[in-house]
């Protein structure tokens, strides 16, 4: 039985000897180098996530054959949505793990849909609009 454990004993002794040959703890210069490298990698990851969010979604949505017209929540995790495919609207029920087609109808004219209120382009214009609405003007 000693023969079976002999190679493992040599590996363990070799590991102890190589650990003793290594220099002492890392110096402050090495620590700063690792810290700056970590900051650089995290910064690159944040920049890539921002770029995908900013440019990736817009590029994908522009040529998509399927568009979401609207939707309403009917429960905590359930929704009814209207999806436009080609010239047809499909009413679908969406629940966790399941999507069901409820009805289909021809595409409605965009004039029939209620117009969304115009949002101001700057914060100051939004604030002015909000104050005027609150005061009843």
Last residue within a domain, chosen from 64, 85, 118: 64
Q: Are residues 76 and 57 in the same domain?
A: no
CA angle 36, 33, 37 (to 5 degrees): 40
The pLDDT, as a whole number, for residue 115 is 56
Fill in the DSSP letter of residue 64.
Answer: -
**3 state DSSP class of 119:** coil
Q: Are residues 101 and 69 in the same domain?
A: yes
117 falls within a domain: no
44 falls within a domain: yes
The 10 Å Cβ neighbour count of residue 116 is 6
118 falls within a domain: no
12 falls within a domain: no
The pLDDT, as a whole number, for residue 61 is 56
Q: Report the predicted TM-score, pTM, of the whole model to 2 decimal places.
A: 0.38
CA 134 to CA 121: how far, in whole Å?
Answer: 19
Q: Which structural domain, as residue segments, surrounds residue 69?
A: 65-106
Q: Which residues, 6+ apart, have CB-to-CB distance to 68 below 8 Å?
A: 81, 82, 83, 84
What is the tally of structural domains in the chain?
2
71 falls within a domain: yes
Q: How do residues 11-38 score in pLDDT, each as one tens digit?
A: 555 555 555 555 556 677 888 899 999 9
How remote is the C-alpha of 78 from its chain's centroid? 21
Q: How do residues 42-89 score in pLDDT, each as one tens digit?
A: 999 999 999 888 887 655 555 678 888 888 988 888 999 999 888 889
Q: Which residues, 6+ apart, have CB-to-CB distance to 44 below 8 Å?
A: none
């Amino acid at each position: 039985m000693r023969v079976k454990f002999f190679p493992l004993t040599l590996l363990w002794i070799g590991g102890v000897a190589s650990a003793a040959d290594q220099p002492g703890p890392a110096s402050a210069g090495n620590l700063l180098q690792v810290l700056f490298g970590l900051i650089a990698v995290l910064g690159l990851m944040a920049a890539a996530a921002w770029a995908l969010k900013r440019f990736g979604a817009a590029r994908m949505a522009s040529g998509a054959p399927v568009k979401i017209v609207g939707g309403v929540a009917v429960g905590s995790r359930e929704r009814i949505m209207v999806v436009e495919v080609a010239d047809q609207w499909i009413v679908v029920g969406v629940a966790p793990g399941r999507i069901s087609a409820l009805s289909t109808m021809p595409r409605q004219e965009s004039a029939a849909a209620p117009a969304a209120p115009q949002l101001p382009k700057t914060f100051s214009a939004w604030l002015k609009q909000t104050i005027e609405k609150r005061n009843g003007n």
